[in-house]
A and B are shown apart, each in its own frame.
Chain A
Amino acid sequence: MSDTERHRTQYTGAEREISPLVRGRGLRKEYGSAEGLVRAVDDVDLDIAPGETLAIMGPSGCGKSTLLHLLGGLDRPSTGQVWLGGQRLDTMSERELARLRRSSVGFVFQAFHLMDELTAVENIELPALLAGCSPRAARRRARDLLEQVEMSDRATHLPSALSGGQRQRVAIARALANEPAVVLADEPTGNLDSGATLEVLRLFDRLHAAGQTLVIVTHDERIAATADRLVSMRDGAFVDETRLAGGTGNLSSLIGIEA
């Protein structure tokens, strides 16, 4: 049995009986050609069950973010297949991918990527408006989400008037606007201090407890420790998998951050 085959059986979560929400098979993403060829993701197989929180770790440039983009339909694999909720993403048109992202995927980015000219509540309601929701319903949902992320008092603030942690909470609320099947978070605490990191992790913990499927790319072992499962990447490939206890519980002590 080759290393690749061994890894495939090891990381596909085959022992879980529930059919996976997200599935990747033979995922490969290449840039350049000939001598300049870079394989950002190299033959990755992956299953993520509904309600599961998966952490992906690895050094910078190992392909974590690229993999996340492939799983969320932001990018297309060079070869391989991706399914989300039973729908195959890699054969979809750009329009179909956009519709799928709108309804089934929520993104949280390290750089927040909020619209500078929109207030917190306007940022959060944007995905609902793009999905054709009525302005009234979109605003109601946005206010509910602001309350969930404990940001109601900052609803009319522009991103420039918010701290990093607050911006990320707004970004998380925005990711949940259309009640997505999966939330993909790319280094969600990479730009945050310890206090803000704790705020964000508490949110993820609550989402986990509520059964939200989460994929978190991170550098930080303490954050990865809150996941159900941790996979490590190196040079575009999975090199290790660890099943963890999960994040619900005494988060502060678990990750070693004092509130």
Chain B
Amino acid sequence: MGGRLRLVARLAGRDVHRRWSEALLLVLAIAAGSATLTLGMLLHNVTTQSSGQSYSQTQAATRGPDLVAQSATLDNGTTSPADLAALVALSHAKGVVASSGPYPMATADLRTPTVTGGATVEGRSESPAAVDQPLVTAGTWVRPGGVVVERAFAQAAGVEVGQVIRLNGRAFTVDGIAVTAAFSPYPQIGCFAGCFGPQSFANDAVGLLWTTEAGARSLATASAPLTYFSNLKLADPTQATAVANAQDNNNYTKNPGSPNGPYLLSAQQIAHEDNNLIVNEQIVVLVGSTLLTILSIASVAVLVGGRMADQMRRVGLLKAIGGTPGLVASVLMAEYLFLALVGAAVGLLGGWLFAPLLSSPGSGLLGSAPRPPLTVSSVLIVAGVALGVALVAALVPALRAAQTSTVRALADSARPPHRSALLVRLSARLPVPLLIGLRVMARRLRRTTLSVLSIFVTVSGVVAVLIVHGRLNSAEFNGVSGLVNPRTTRANEVLLAVTVGLVVLAAVNAVFITRAIAQDARHASAVTRALGATPQQVTAGLSLAQMLPALIGSLLGIPGGFLLYNAAKHGGQSETMPPVPELLAVIVGAVLLVAVLTAIPARWGARRPVASILQAELA
């Protein structure tokens, strides 16, 4: 048994060594899918297990609250004395060991030289607070006539210390930049003060500023009255979420000013809100990894198919010297399973190394991005998927090769081509390049199907990316001119990376498939040229054999993209239909890209000397 294993390992190893460039491509194809799968799982771990390292660090540095309370308001948005009293009373409630506030919070129109939008402005004492004292990272804390800007918002708006901004038309100097744990950093602030508060912002691109209490009060208007916030420290911080949940927040939003009292949010809930920064990326990465895995299967299948065709004589030799079909299949499979494991290892390492770039908490919190731990289950899943890819792609060709008769394998005779009478009949009426292209396509239906699948998956991914991109950049996110939404920016970067990955892998597939087609059709091409087809006609035919599946795959990919988006979106997100010219550009672009990519292998296939190919058939 040991000897047999050694033999299988040695034969597989020799073949990998002999054809290392193809082995490298196999590893890279599997590594691409494995890396994105690893990234998706690591980001999932970050969001579900909420390591919250950066939030905890920020909470400690800013004396962050365990609970933040916002006053209830009347229908017209004003806070009644009773509601304010209820908020004040919370500071003396059982289990509360320290508090700060209530602080008035105003909403104001913000104008900077580059930004026009909305801001929430909290009025604070110039002296440090016992709970929630934002940590100034640049400049100083609030002074009369000045504001301190939350760091993530400052970065998005391009605001710096010393700059003058206008709030409701009044000039304020930016005295400092600070971070806090009492509110989620920009752009999440809107979903707390805005979504549930009296001022319902049309978007969550709302920044947080601090000024003096007098300054905040001066910004209040009849249509945008003040609300109040308190920060509470509990004797048992772990109970904060339970306390917040006990308060019927849903009822609060439906019926502001109800006897349910103030709206509460725990530190854990705020920390969880922070994770929204990476939720979009996680979805994009997971969908991207699924698509890349499918493309990896196509890549591996094409590569394996091509290698198997070249390995027939070797198979014949193995069988001639006594190798059983089982041994032959084992040797072939061992090679691909080994390469799949190497690809998985490379992908795991790559995904793990890149994860901090995507799991970064952003500039609104302190500390750098933690490197998410690579769990045993993640490793097993990635390795399992990689092995599955190799198994799915290589099993059938390996078994087919193992079952080929020894004599035929030694003769290295090609697998008989498929005949499609309909396509032969149809192609007779078409110009010569189309005639050749259609017939080449029909010869290998499995390979043609892989071509269609490869482009379908890529175009589906690109269309889904366009929809997500359109949604991210719609008014829902970017209603404020001149502001950068860090969620959008990062999600767009991930979308770009996934798109590039998809296009590159699809491009590699197109080249592999055309090369395999050119190799497989070398005899037919040589005969066709001997009968009078020009090299240009054969080149065009071989390219068309890829462009036609690309066209079919692209056309199917448009509805595929919509289905993919609808399957992957979370919640009731609306979809923004990409403009028709954009979709047409995707189809035309995909077909043209395939045409360009296949031109070289097709030209290579069509220009090989006819006489030597036909003579080789006799050898």
A-side interface residues toward B, CB under 8 Å?
A: 65-66, 69, 74-75, 94-95, 98-99, 101-103, 107, 109-111, 113-118, 122, 125-127, 129-132, 135, 138-139, 158, 160, 174, 178
Contacts and interface: CB of A to CB of B under 8 A. Distances in A.
Contact of B417 (A66, A69, A110, A116): A116
With a 10 A CB-CB cut-off, give which of A66, A102, A113, A158 has the most chain B CB atoms. Answer: A113
A98 B538 CA distance: 11
Given A65-B615, A110-B618, A127-B531, A117 B417 contact: yes
Interface string B495-533: 000000000000000000000000000011011111111
Contact of B439 (A102, A117, A158): A117
Q: B-side binding surface: helix, strand, loop or mixed?
A: helix
9 contacts: A65-B615, A69-B611, A75-B609, A75-B610, A101-B529, A107-B530, A111-B618, A130-B531, A135-B428
A174 B420 CA distance: 21
B611 A102 contact: no
B416 A160 contact: yes
A129 B426 CA distance: 12
Interface of B: 416-420, 424, 428-429, 432, 435, 439, 442-443, 523-524, 526-537, 607, 609-611, 614-615, 617-618
A226 B536 CA distance: 39
Contacts of B532: 98-99, 101-103, 127, 130-131, 178
A135 B533 CA distance: 16
Nearest to A106: B531
Residue from A94, A117, A126, A174 whose CB has the most chain B CB atoms within 10 Å: A117
A98 B533 CA distance: 6
Contact of A113 (B420, B428, B609, B614): B614
B416 A116 contact: yes
Nearest to B427: A129
B442 A132 contact: no
A127 B428 CA distance: 11
Given A107-B530, A113-B617, A115-B524, A138 B428 contact: yes
Nearest to A160: B416
A174 B610 contact: no
Nearest to A96: B534
A75 B526 CA distance: 12
Nearest to B416: A116
Given A117-B443, A135-B429, A95 B534 contact: yes
A123 to B, nearest CB: 9
Given A95-B535, A99-B534, 8 more contacts: A98-B535, A117-B417, A117-B443, A122-B424, A127-B532, A129-B432, A130-B432, A160-B416
A102 B419 contact: no
Contacts of B419: 117-118, 158
Contacts of A99: 532, 534
A111 B619 CA distance: 11
Nearest to B436: A130
Contacts of A101: 529-532
Nearest to B531: A127
Contacts of A69: 611
A160 B526 CA distance: 20
A125 B27 CA distance: 45
A188 to B, nearest CB: 13
Given A117-B418, A117-B439, A160-B416, A126 B609 contact: no
Contacts of B442: 117
A70 B618 CA distance: 18
B445 to A, nearest CB: 11
Contacts of B615: 65
Nearest to B618: A111
Contacts of A117: 416-420, 424, 439, 442-443
A120 B435 CA distance: 17
B435 A129 contact: yes
Contacts of A74: 530, 610-611, 614
Nearest to B617: A111
Nearest to B529: A98
Contacts of B528: 126, 130
Contacts of A138: 428
